Amino acid sequence: MPQIDIFTILAVFLAIGAIYIIGMLLVVPIKIVIKFIINGIIGAALLFFLNIFGGFIGINIA
């Protein structure tokens, strides 16, 4: 039966930690970009409806 030394175990844990950190660095910016896109769409829709319905009461945004 082969023996596993402490350095092999440490290397495995460090590799798992590095993969986790790299994964988080790739996922977080995607979430931020998607949040900005959704907020932009909602903002544009609100401005559009404000211009349409606000025109009836004298409110518009050029």
Q: Can you tell me the distance from the alpha carbon of 5 to that of 53, in angstroms, rounded to the nearest whole number?
A: 72
Residue 2: is its pLDDT beyond 80? no
Span 54-62, average pLDDT: 81
Q: Residue ranges of the domains in the chain? A: 27-55
Tell me what pLDDT residue 1 has. 63
- pLDDT tens readout for residues 13-55: 999 999 999 988 888 788 888 999 999 999 999 999 988 888 8
What is the predicted pLDDT for the residue at 16?
A: 96
Higher pLDDT among residues 19 and 61, named by residue: 19
